């Protein structure tokens, strides 16, 4: 999606998340000719199928239970075909994280509406996260599982860091715009506030797993904190 962040969750930012399942260019045969559109579409769908299978395996069995052969079986392919699309577990996890990032972007408010305020943008982002957590709670189970594992796995930390940069960029730009429009307090340091928001979202996702509706009040309190003295002049629908 042409989006912001997470398209942990991608609206005012100019960053575009890369296509989660966009395949690397591969020759269609020994002649070295490019893949035809039909072959490309088939390859794309196969990658999606594999990523979905890995995602479900992670949701059910966690990182330790993720086995390449089982993913291949779930996807209805053989082990060698799986390795054609994903060289190993790290590449597969990267695909799963990008898949989640793309899904988390789906309910974000559209930025084509020039009238939407930075506060409304951030409030809409929080509401979209709550709705996503209610619709697909297993997504957050997978994220918590992978984040926990990332504490011990440098390669996994690098995968999250890549996506966090896009999420943080969206948050920083939104906060900066809000400060300029007197919707957020002028004393905010956008980069620090963005880190606080990301950390809070991750903590709430764990604390309120299976009870996403309870995240609404903490998000409301967060918005009040961001507004500070600017609250009296802030406009827009409250969360």
Instruction: Name the residue among 164, 213, 183, 192 with its Cα closest to residue 122.
Output: 183
Give yes or no for residue 38 having a pLDDT over 60.
Answer: no
Top pLDDT among 151 and 216 is at: 216
Does residue 151 share a domain with residue 94? no
| Residue-range definition of the domain harbouring residue 42 | 37-100
pLDDT-derived band at 68 (thresholds 50, 70, 90) equals very high
Give the model's pLDDT for residue 117. Answer: 93
Does residue 4 form part of some domain?
no
Same domain (yes/no): 136, 77: no
pLDDT at residue 108, as a whole number: 52
Is the domain of 77 the same as that of 47?
Answer: yes
Looking at the structure, tell me whether residues 179 and 219 fall in a common domain: yes
> Is residue 8 exposed (0-12), middle (13-18) or buried (19+ Cβ within 10 Å)?
buried
Q: How would you class 162 by CB atoms within 10 Å of its CB: exposed for 0-12, middle for 13-18, buried for 19 or more?
A: middle
Do residues 212 and 201 touch, judged by C-beta distance below 8 A?
no
Same-domain status, 120 and 220: yes
The answer on 86 and 105 residing in a single domain is no
What's this model's pTM, rounded to 2 decimal places?
0.68
Least confident of 60-74, 92-106, 117-131, 166-180: 92-106
Report which of 206, 176, 207, 180 is spatially closest to residue 193, judged by C-alpha positions: 176
Same domain? 109 vs 179: yes
Domain contains 10? no
């Amino acid at each position: 999606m042409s989006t912001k962040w997470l398209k942990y969750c991608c609206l005012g930012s100019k960053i575009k998340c890369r296509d989660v399942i966009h395949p690397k260019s591969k020759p269609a045969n020994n002649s070295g000719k490019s893949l035809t559109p039909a072959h490309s579409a088939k390859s794309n769908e196969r990658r999606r199928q594999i990523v979905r299978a890995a995602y479900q395996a992670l949701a059910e069995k966690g990182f330790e239970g993720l086995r390449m052969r089982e993913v291949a079986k779930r996807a209805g392919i053989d082990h060698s075909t799986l390795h054609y699309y994903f060289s190993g577990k790290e590449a597969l996890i990267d695909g799963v994280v990008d898949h989640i990032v793309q899904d988390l972007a789906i309910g974000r408010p559209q930025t084509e509406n020039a009238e939407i305020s930075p506060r409304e943008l951030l409030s809409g982002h929080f509401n979209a996260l709550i709705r996503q957590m209610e619709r697909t709670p297993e997504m957050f189970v997978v994220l918590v599982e992978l984040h926990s594992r990332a504490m011990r796995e440098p390669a996994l930390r690098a995968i999250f860091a890549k996506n966090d940069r896009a999420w943080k960029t969206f948050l920083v730009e939104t906060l900066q715009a809000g400060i300029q429009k007197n919707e957020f307090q002028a004393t905010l340091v956008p980069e620090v506030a963005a880190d606080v928001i990301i950390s809070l979202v991750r903590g709430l996702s764990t604390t309120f797993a299976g009870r996403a509706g309870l995240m609404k009040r903490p998000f409301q309190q967060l918005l009040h904190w961001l507004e500070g003295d600017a609250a009296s002049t802030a406009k827009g629908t409250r969360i």
